[in-house]
Structure 1
Amino acid sequence: MIKPSQPNWAQYWSLDPAIVFLNHGSFGACPLPVLALQQHLRQRIERQPLQFFGRDLEQLLDQARIDLAAFVGADADDLAFVPNATTGINTILRSLTFEPGDELLTTNQEYNACRNALEFVAARSGAKIVVAEVPYPIESAQQAIELILQAVSSKTRLALLDHITSQTGLVFPIAEIIHALTAQGVDTLIDGAHAPGMVALDLTAIAPTYYTGNCHKWLCAPKGAAFLYVQRDKQAEIRPLTISHGANSPRCDRSQFRLEFDWTGTDDPTAYLCVPEAIRFMGSLLPGGWSELMAQNRAKAIAARKILCEILEVAPPCPDQMIGSLATVPLSDGSYIELQDALLEKFGIEVPIVPYPSAPNRLVRISAQIYNTLDQYDKLGQAIVELSAHH
């Protein structure tokens, strides 16, 4: 297929053309060629279920994991597929054992679902949650590093940290944070829900103890595809949330980690198996492949934030270096639900208005994917001004 000089990138997605969709970050959006492969795989399952699950699946998962491992800079045997990053976080937290007095470090920016999982295991074990308060607006990435490290003590067992924060879209300097924590003997559990496909990942280089990332967001795989990375020497103590046949398998040709995670019961594994095609397709859109795509999306997010800040007359709340392809802009105080609904109903704009626990009490969070255009952010800014005049 010959692509026009200025392609209509939206043609590769089934997104409603009547909606200005500025919320790729929440659930992603899967391109049509990747969905076509998923449909083909589903038909293959239904044609001969036993052949697929009993004979073919293990090898198909192995190949998908090898392709994903190359993309995220890991050894394939250190990865397991999970449905989403929240499952990945729960898997680690509920596999580990904590004692009363142990400290579990996180930040005030941690994603609510994962913070809930941390609260659950802390309440059950008597461990204490220590929260590093990372401000927003924020002046520098260094500020985040210092505040997190200041919260470490001799009792800190584990640090649960976002790579890219969901509410505020901040890209934390995660490599520096991990290395500093590791040097103090603190294991790291990194919630990289937004990272794969937004920022270049090299898990071997940044060396977290545990890392989980979604493939359905910026990588554009189908919903229900994510991965969990576990350092080799920690794998023996990590068990899937669902204990299944692998727990007592007599096989010796694969690790226990592999045997347990690759089969937790009958499910639809096609989202996992489409990850290589998502990597290939998205990487084929621009001449420079993934590096150009990530750079272009980031540049668009920075430009879009500038447009919004000028229209709304607010200062940029963080330095450009802390932005990936998400960006947030503070808004005047008010109801976040009413504004989000009004933007959709009156202007056809789908964008999250995020509640925030300190002033200002709401933010607008924009996503920048290849199908978005700068005029969409201008339309958003003008719509917010118009709605604010009436509220």
Structure 2
Amino acid sequence: MIFLNHGSFGATPRRVLRAQQDWRLALERQPIHFMIDILPAALRTAASELAAFLGATGQDVAFVDNATTGVNSVLRSLRLQPGDEVLTTSHVYPAVGKTISYVCRRTGAVPVHVAVPFPCAGPQEVVDRVVRAMTPRTRLLVIDHITSATALVLPVHELTREARQRGILVLVDGAHAPGMLPLDLPTFATDWYTGNCHKWLCGCKGSAFLWGNPESEAAQSDIHPPVISHFLDENWPAEFDFIGTRDYSPWLSVPEALRFLQDLGGERVMEHNRILARKGALVLQSTLGIAPAAPESMLGSIITLPWPGTETPSDEMAQDLRRALWENHRIELMVLCFDGRLWFRISAHAYNEIDDYERLAEVLQTHLPSRPGVG
């Protein structure tokens, strides 16, 4: 098997799964003692360890199930007014885009999607287009740190600086960033930053965080999880920590995922993954005669490239091609339709080798003429 889509759902190591199971068993041995006496402190310990990895403090980090939940927590808590504008880009993650639309429909606010071309010329093109779209009515900027479909590392520092100068709140969707890029959240100066632990941190499914900037008046004030439960209005992390009877083991096992990443090499393995992804992209570009879609400065451990075939672009066709690669060649690859074209997204993690990309290039070069799939 060649697995080149780590970005969608990650991959959880056995030792992290064992840690998760240990927490589950601890709950089942004595659920009253666990929920009342053990869980509150254990969650705060886990949050503090995660916060240290993020350059933050534990009291500013709340656990959520995934980055989309973090986005919902902020968007559905803000008291938007009719005519307020929520600004994002054409590369926004679909679930986040739908959340923006939903909240705007209910409040009378206006969603504004800035068209950012893909291929992208560079970070300044993104900054220029987003800044031009900012108006006195812009209340919130929702920006990806690393876009999902197009795999662009966006200039978060510059965009946040421009927004804050205009009094615009900033929410960063960092779904792919933790474990892919070194993070020091306070340096971003955003109001909120949400990210997943199940992707590049290799944590368990259902583990993510929402960081509220303690220097921002709005960040931890009147922001609530989507599920309102016993600790409404208690304080920022407590309200998120306990949202009723549920499996808290994905959050509690985050420290083991952090230790696993550190044992792999920490920031060294992050750099290794980024370098391998670029080398793999070069192999594919050279073999298939395709061009890069972004400069190196905007690339991480996932890279999106133009599909080299002539298939009519559609979401259905993209899924047919993905299935064919898996069923016929045991290659797992993200194939997608974006802005009227077909693309494919590769990933790199510690288990990948350059041979994986050479094999993909060989398969695509040899079998592309066949339709409807790669057979």
Tell me, yes or no, whether TM beats 0.5.
yes
Distance 2:287 2:137 in 1: 47
Distance, in Å, in 2 between the alignment partners of 1:205 and 1:158 is 19
Residues 1:244 and 2:201 are matched in the alignment: no
The gaps in structure 1 that reach 5 residues or longer are 1-18, 249-254
* 1:187-202 matched pairs, under 5 angstroms: 187-202=169-184
How far did 1:107 drift? Answer: 0.2
Q: Is the partner of 1:370 in helix, strand or coil?
A: coil
Whether 1:388 aligns to 2:368 is: yes
Q: Superposed, which structure 2 residues align to 1:1-391 within 5 Å?
A: 19-232=1-214, 233-234=217-218, 235-247=220-232, 256-285=235-264, 289-331=265-307, 332-334=309-311, 335-358=317-340, 361-391=341-371
Give the letter for the 2:266 counterpart.
W
RMSD (Å), alpha carbons: 1.1
Q: CA deviation at 1:231?
A: 2.3
Deviations 1:260-280 (A, max 9, x none): 111110111111111111111
Q: Distance in 2 between matches of 1:200 and 1:382?
A: 33
Measured after TM superposition, the shift of residue 142 of structure 1 is: 1.2
Question: Which runs of structure 1 show a deviation greater than 4 angstroms over 4 or more consecutive aligned residues?
Answer: none
Tell me, yes or no, if the aligned pair for 1:343 and 1:384 is still in contact at 8 Å: no
Per-residue Cα deviation, 1:315-336 (whole angstroms, up to 9, x for no partner): 1111111011000110134221
Query: Displacement, 1:52?
Result: 0.9
Where does residue 5 of structure 1 map in the other structure? Answer: none
**Deviation of the 1:281 alpha carbon:** 1.2
Q: Quick one: which amino acid aligns to residue 21 of structure 1?
A: F
- The Cα of 1:385 is off from its aligned counterpart by 2.0
Structure 2 gaps, min length 5: 312-316
- Report Cα offsets for 1:275-328 as digits up to 9, x if no partner: 11111111112xxx3110111000001001111111210111111110110001
Q: How far off is 1:126 after superposition?
A: 1.3
Q: Structure 1: how far apart are the matches of 2:306 and 2:168?
A: 34
Question: How far off its partner does 1:386 sit?
Answer: 2.4
Check conservation: 2:186, 2:213, Cα contact below 8 A: no
Q: 1:337 & 1:47 partners in 2: Cα distance? A: 44
Counterpart CA distance in 2 for 1:72 and 1:150 is 31
- The 8 Å contact of residues 61 and 212 in structure 2, kept in 1 or not, is answered as yes
**Which residue does 1:7 correspond to in 2?**
none
Question: Normalization by structure 1: what TM-score?
Answer: 0.91
Deviations 1:172-204 (A, max 9, x none): 011111111111111001100000000011111
C-alpha offsets along residues 109-167 of structure 1, whole Å, 9 cap, x if unaligned? 00000000000011111111111111110111111111111110010000111100000
Deviations 1:17-43 (A, max 9, x none): xx2111110000011111111111111
Distance in 2 of aligned mates of 1:179 and 1:83: 29
After alignment, is 64-73 or 381-390 more displaced?
A: 381-390
How many equivalent pairs are there? 362
Give the Cα separation in 1 of the matches to 2:26 and 2:43.
15
- Counterpart CA distance in 2 for 1:333 and 1:25 is 26
Q: What's the secondary structure of 1:389's corresponding residue?
A: coil
CA distance in 1, matches of 2:339, 2:11: 29
1:129 counterpart SS class: strand
CA distance in 2, matches of 1:200, 1:381: 30
Once residues 280 and 7 of structure 2 are traced to their aligned partners in structure 1, the CA distance between those partners, rounded to angstroms, is 15
TM-score by length of 2: 0.94
**2: distance between equivalents of 1:24 and 1:312?**
23
1:236 CA displacement: 2.0
